[in-house]
Structure 1
Amino acid sequence: MLDYTEYTKFLIGLIAIVNPIGVIPVFLALTADLYPQERRRIINMSVVAVASILLISLLFGEILLEFFGISINSFRVGGGILILLMAIGMMHAKSEPKAAKESYQADDRDSIAVVPLAIPLLAGPGAISTVIIEAHRGSSVMHYSILAGDILVIAALLWAVFQLTPWISRHLSVMGMTIVTRIMGLLLAAIAIEFIANGLKGLFPSLAA
């Protein structure tokens, strides 16, 4: 089991990757013509989908890596590069949610809760990679329980942000959302570098000397 500060760090990092504030413009665009009860159903479905995807990654991610013969250190480097690219895009105000807004046209109203909201906007490759890498750092029931608790906190935060979306959109300008996204991107860049450094040390032990 890790120190509690490590779990807090994981929680903050996952919040930065999921970036619930950054997905608000996409959510507003996809649900603009829906009735309140339809919007609430999409919110609930999306939050459940995100929590389910991340919990499945937590419990079975390492098994999948072993099945495909991928070492955790290789996955750290690959995941770190992926997160770094995401962070660079966020710091240039070219975050994935904005691109997805232009790419997805949802005809089925219920389906937008899963695609594109849950996947790939919220529980995308970056979030899944982070969960799998963190899960590998311990093997106790307590370790997995705390990580699962962090994921549930993320789900609760997402639900709250989605519920407050009309209020947030009125009080937080596009510039404000951009600033938040860039701050999250800077934090993500630091986390990504740490992932890459630890992966390289594992692949090339001489680097740790």
Structure 2
Amino acid sequence: MLDYALTAFVTLIVVVDPVGIVPAFLSATHGLPDAARKGVGLRAAVIASLILAGTALIGNWLLDRLGIGLPAFRISGGILLFVVAFEMVLGTRPAREVREAEQAIEEKVRDIAAFPVATPLIAGPGAITATLLLAGRTGSDPVTLTALIAIIAVVAALCAAAFAFAGRVAKLLGVTGNVVLSRLLGVVLAALAVQFVIDGARTAFGQS
């Protein structure tokens, strides 16, 4: 349980990257008063946690209905997570997130807490894929699944905290700090993604 909880926490914290998405959050909430910005961050964290928790609860059921085996999803999910890690290492992910957030504002999205902050900044494709993969490793055990949902809530709370102090965090890290942190987290995520692919391949070949 402890090993699983640690793996789940590290995976989600690296994929979501609460500190790394602060610049995109600042861009999305540009012009808002501090109180309104904090409200948007808190609401977005709640929405994202509900999305990811729902994914953890019904993800395996949905895969079964679609006839998709967990080994296949582990391999494909690992590849997708590796793409996210590749973007982080090269530094293209933060720029893309800021650009998407700016486009959302220009298109006058009514509720920026739901879009683009909750999704895709927090509960993006990478986070949803990681949650599905982690839920698949619970073996439908209620205790382990509850632990996963609790970890999702913790990661969402960290996002809300990072958003609450977004201005200070951005100034504290600076451009260099954000770049170095993103590169390091990208390397860790790449290793986790490769491990998911290896686990999926082992299971698939073992069943064949």
Identify whether the pair has TM-score above 0.5, normalized to the shorter chain.
Answer: yes
Tell me if the contact between 1:80 and 1:192 (Cα under 8 Å) persists in the aligned partners.
yes
Unaligned runs of 5+ in 2: none
Report how far residue 179 of structure 1 moved.
0.6
Q: Is the 8 A contact 1:46 1:113 kept in 2?
A: yes
Task: Name which of 63, 66, 78 aligns with 1:65.
Answer: 63
**Alpha-carbon deviation of 1:162?**
0.7
Pair 1:105-2:104 in alignment: yes
Counterpart for residue 139 of structure 1: 140
Which letter maps to 1:163?
A: A
Instruction: Give % identity.
Output: 32
Equivalent position amino acid for 1:117 in 2: V
* Code of the aligned partner of 1:31: T
Report SS of the residue matched to 2:104: coil
The equivalences for 1:136-175 within 5 A come to 136-137=136-137, 138-175=139-176
- 1:58-94 deviation per Cα after TM superposition (whole angstroms, max 9, x unaligned): 1000111111111111100110000001101100111
CA–CA distance in structure 2, aligned partners of residues 98 and 168 of structure 1 = 18
Structure 1 residues not aligned, in runs of 5+: none
Give, in whole Å, the separation in 1 of the partners of 2:124 and 2:30. 23
**2:188 matched to which residue of 1?**
187
RMSD value over aligned CA atoms? 1.6
Shift of 1:206: 8.2
Distance 2:42 2:158 in 1: 12
**Residue 117 of structure 2 corresponds to which residue in structure 1?**
117
Structure 2: distance between partners of 1:119 and 1:105: 11
Write 1 or 2 for the structure with the bigger share of helix.
2
- In structure 2, distance between residues paired with 1:76 and 1:178: 29
Contact conserved, 2:88 with 2:186, CA < 8 A, in 1?
yes
Q: What does residue 24 of structure 1 align with?
A: 22
Match of 1:79 in 2: 77
Counterpart position of 2:87: 89
Which residue type is aligned with residue 33 of structure 2? Y
Q: Does 1:200 align with 2:201?
A: yes
Q: C-alpha distance in 2, partners of 1:19/1:195? A: 19
1:106-140 CA-partner distances (Å, limit 9, x unpaired): 25465221222221221112111111121122222
In structure 2, how many angstroms separate the alpha carbons of the residues matched to 1:101 and 1:203?
38
Tell me the distance in 1 between the aligned counterparts of 2:110 and 2:39: 8
Number of residue-to-residue matches in the alignment: 204
Q: How many angstroms apart in 2 are the aligned matches of 1:205 and 1:139?
A: 21
**Alignment of structure 1 residues 44-63 onto 2, 5 Å:** 44-63=42-61
